[in-house]
Amino acid sequence: MTTVLGVDLAELRDQGYTVVDGVRTDDAAARMLGELGDLMPQYDGMLRYQVKAAPGFEGKRYSKSTNTILVHTEAPGWSPPPGYLALHCRVQATCGSGHTELADAYRFVAELPEAEREVMRGRLVDWVGHNTAGTGSAGVRKPAVELSDGGREIVRFSYNLLTAGHYDPPVDADVAPEDLPLGALGIELAQRAEEFFRTQKVSILIPQDSVLIWDNQRMLHARSSYTDTRRHLTRYWISRN
């Protein structure tokens, strides 16, 4: 087993994710994750983002709501997107839900019909960026599957963007296909991804004082709804060394 400060690198490489137990402080999490790559500023310009339900987000599919969050990769408007994502569980929900869900996007793409696979690899999409607090991205125009300079595939995906034209739309958003990044085809790809995700996903209720790490350029992720608003995770973005 190859480890970096407790991270099973072989497991992270082979299955795309791993869980590290017994991480009790923010500093311990940051030291461990810093061995994988540089910690990256997130949407608010901070290295740590608190994932906790807050007033004002009840009608959205957003990290600070308790609603289901649909299949996506993080920060597709960055170039490149974060190499890894990590969630450090400070207080886990006791309602039996609030699972972080993961599935392998490489497998999803490989199982698509050839014509749709070509769309994922060749059709350019305007991935919206964020630019707040003096940091962020203006967005990128890239295919959903990009071949990096090193020959590795980088997957960008957002069910919400392809079906509602926004990363964090209202739960009842209804947008005409002609106003969407890939039109009706994008809606179809999003629905295919959701169907694949339902059958292939791994659902993880992260134990308290544990860190779930996954390959954000490979893995699709989502979250189930929950009711226990004490739930509190700290999110990190990490570049790929």
Query: Cα angle at 130 between 129 and 132, to 5 degrees?
Result: 160
| Amino acid found at 123 | R
All residue ranges of the chain with pLDDT < 50 are 1-2
| pLDDT tens string 123-170 | 999 998 876 655 678 899 999 999 998 899 999 999 999 999 999 888
pTM for this model (two decimals): 0.94
Q: Quick one: pLDDT at residue 173?
A: 87
CA pair distance 63, 52, nearest whole angstrom: 7
**Number of residues that this document lists for the chain:** 241
Exposure string over 65-91, b if 16+ CB within 10 A, otherwise e: bbbebbbbbbbbbbbbbbbbbbbbbbe
Write down all domains in the chain, each with its CATH number in brackets.
Answer: 3-238 (3.60.130.10)
